[in-house]
Structure 1
Amino acid sequence: MVSRAVVQGVGHYLPSRVVPNSHFETFLDTSDEWIRTRSGIERRHFAAEGETTSELATRAARAALDDAGMEVSDIDAIIVATSTADLTFPSAATMVQAELGMTQGFAFDVQAVCAGFIFALANANALIVSGQAKSVLVIGAETFSRIMDWTDRSTCVLFGDGAGALVLSGEEGEGTSQDRGILSTDLHSDGRYRDLLYVDGGVSTQTTGHLRMQGNQVFRHAVEKLTSTARAALEKAGLESGDLDKIVPHQANIRIIQGTAKKMGLPMDKVVVTVQDHGNTSAASIPMALSVGVERGEIKRGDLLVTEAIGGGLAWGSVVLRW
């Protein structure tokens, strides 16, 4: 028997303001067709003035706890994946902890940009498998609208705000690929590619900065690295692409999603796609896609999934889990 980190519940939250592509036509040289063709995005959500990342995270956390039928007193740890925390410190995770009324356990943030939720899942899995925690609340939450350069039509049309959350708890498994829960993880980073995707500000420069991206270069790295990490995670679990019921990719760009599925030899009907409705929500994208996939009936208990992401750093990775 081995310990597995098993999904008990999932949930997400989107700010109420929906921003269609036509919004950008009013102040940029762009069009709905241009944005759809290049990204697959039709609309995204923006947080309201004063609505913070930790608030979005807390709402998603409550939805996941409700779905799991668990109380906050059942949780030992909270991990929030975000690049847009409310403050330099303390962590967004401790703010969520306080808002939920959780006085036990511990909470911390993980920063790996769009790959953040994958890194957070890997950390949660390690905590559970090692016996450090029994149940972990894992959240991806972002307000990327706060770091957009609204004069840069190549980036500001791509991103949105939101939050998604999973509750993971330790359960005994047989140690085979038929077990429910996280079966394998695969993480990577390479700091040499920093200038491909970064924010040109931060604490030590005393500026907030704006997101900067070399889109063509990111695309080139994305398909190759996402395919490679997904295959590596499957191999670690003793599985192959053909065993998968669904891919739940980071929702950055429909062409990256399609390219990765093609390289893995899988049809698009095995891919959960939400980018058209959410845009790129960075660390929030995968947990929101998982939650929406469950709502739509695309993800069912016992399904074998691989979820993968790449983001600034560059940082990338994947997780294989049975739902």
Structure 2
Amino acid sequence: MAPGTRIVSLGHYQPARVVTNAELESLVETNDEWIRSRVGIETRRIAGPDETVDEMAAQAAEKALAASGLGANEIDLVLVATCTGLDRSPSMSARVAARLGLSAPALLDINVACAGFTHALAVADHSIRAQSATNALVIAAEKMSDVTDWTDRNTCVLVGDGAGAAVVTASDKAQIGPVHWGSVPQMSTAVRIEVGRAADGTPDRTAPICFAQDGQTVYRWATTQLPAIARRACERGGVAPEDLAAVVFHQANLRIIEPLAARLGAVNAVVARDVVESGNTSAASIPLAFSKLVERGEIPSGAPVLLFGFGGNLSYAGQVVRCP
């Protein structure tokens, strides 16, 4: 087995259209102060009608691949984390591989909603260390605007679209720590993207697929249960929270991110707050925020960073990585 793996490079992509809180006031009963005070979001990026999940994924992946120094023919594993791919087949990973001109990679889509990227990163780490792959593209891309009810003020103010990607390769020294992952299946319906239901509870196939959540349930779970789980991810990575250079949580809500960082004890860490300008981009939020921090030079190369995803299914996954 390979001794370890590392993230070589990152890339991200966001649509051009910026939607402000003021613009949402014309759609639902809301206002800028209400949105900022409850979730901390000021703007979000929304994809155009013809801008697809795989197109955004490929844009982010191209940037990560270009920064890695590897050729497209050297990628032998493509993992795409998404919960907003509307087609069942071909997979998003197949569509992205075709867009990038890859030759014969193994392909896998991973749907763990908001924790998708950290799950996919763990799968890439395991695959390379087991010598089932050599170089992996790990991508998360979401078009949340496709599954949003724009008349529901509790959810439409949250969402954004975008993608982030990482190139992962073998390393003489482990720079991606062991994953700590799990879920609360009994509470999995607290966050959902599903078709509407008829009066008898059966699926209504004529209804649109929509994102919905029990916001208070998610908030209580995240703020009370996740600090201990995040600390366990740090322990598995051999890094104390106070020694972290950065913390990149799923960008769900600023009212969750800031208390979680404080209760974790990451007192010296840069805390990603990309949710303020990008909204909640589900699986894409962690690589998107991480890539921006690295691009801006806010994290030193080689410094320890906690990546921690949580949300849909009430799943979670986190690992300490070294900054590329």
The reply to whether residue 19 of structure 1 matches residue 13 of structure 2 is: no
Q: What letter corresponds to residue 80 of structure 1 in structure 2?
A: V
Number of matched pairs: 317
**What is the one-letter code of the residue matched to 1:275?**
V
Correspondence for 1:304: 304
1:104 to 2:98 alignment = no
CA contact (8 A) 1:53 1:84 kept: yes
Equivalent residue, structure 1, for 2:175: 181
Give 3-state SS (helix, strand or coil) of 1:140's partner. Answer: strand
Mapped partners of 1:206, 1:150: distance in 2 = 18
Note closer, same or farther for the CA distance 1:183–1:274 as it changes in structure 2 (3 Å cut): same
Counterpart for residue 228 of structure 1: 228
Q: How far, CA to CA, are the matches of 1:303 and 1:268 in structure 2?
A: 12
CA contact (8 A) 1:184 1:234 kept: no
Query: Which residue, 193, 213, 223 being the options, matches 1:199?
Result: 193
Tell me the equivalent position of 2:200.
none
- Contact conserved, 1:83 with 1:113, CA < 8 A, in 2? yes
**Percent identity (aligned):** 40
Report the counterpart of residue 121 of structure 2 in structure 1.
Answer: 121
Deviations 1:257-299 (A, max 9, x none): 1111111123386212211110000000000011100112112
Q: CA RMSD in A?
A: 1.7
Note the 1:262-301 alignment, pairs <5 A: 262-267=262-267, 270-301=270-301
Change (3 A) 1:33 1:108: same
SS in 2 for 1:318: strand
Aligned to 2:37: 37
* Distance across 1 between alignment mates of 2:10 and 2:54: 17
Quote the Cα distance in structure 2 between the aligned partners of 1:58 and 1:322: 24
What is the one-letter code of the residue matched to 1:38? R
Give the 3-state SS of the residue equivalent to 2:320 in structure 1: strand
**In the TM superposition, what is the alpha-carbon distance from 1:223 to its structure 2 partner?**
2.2
Query: TM-score, normalization: structure 2?
Result: 0.94
Mind listing any 5+ residue stretches in structure 1 that lack a counterpart?
174-179
The residue matched to 1:141 in structure 2 has which SS? strand
SS at match of 2:155: coil
Contact 1:43–1:277 (CA under 8 A) maintained in structure 2: yes
Aligned counterparts of 2:56 and 2:225: Cα–Cα separation in 1: 30
Distance 2:169 2:125 in 1: 9
For residue 177 of structure 1, what is the aligned residue in structure 2?
Answer: none
Matches within 5 A, 1:76-225: 76-173=76-173, 181-201=175-195, 205=205, 207-225=207-225
Aligned residue number for residue 237 of structure 1? 237
Shift of 1:150: 1.1
1:205 is displaced (CA, Å) by 4.5
Cα distance in structure 2, aligned partners of 1:124 and 1:49 = 32
Match of 1:61 in 2: 61
Shift of 1:206: 6.4
Deviation (angstroms), 1:247: 0.6
Give the stretch that moved more between structures: 197-206 or 226-235. 197-206
CA shift for structure 1 position 243:
1.9
Which whole-Å CA distance do the structure 2 matches of 1:208 and 1:301 have between them?
Answer: 45
User: Which consecutive unaligned segments of at least 5 residues does structure 2 have?
Assistant: 197-202
Q: TM-score w.r.t. structure 1 length?
A: 0.94
Deviation at 1:103, TM superposition (A): 1.7
Q: Write the distance in 2 (CA, Å) between the matches of 1:90 and 1:318.
A: 29
Q: 1:283 to 1:212 in 2, by over 3 A?
A: same
Inter-partner Cα distance in structure 1 for 2:212 and 2:204: 18
The farther-off stretch of 281-290 and 199-208 is: 199-208
**Mapped contact 2:244–2:268 kept (Cα < 8 A):** no
| In 1, Cα distance between equivalents of 2:209 and 2:134 | 39
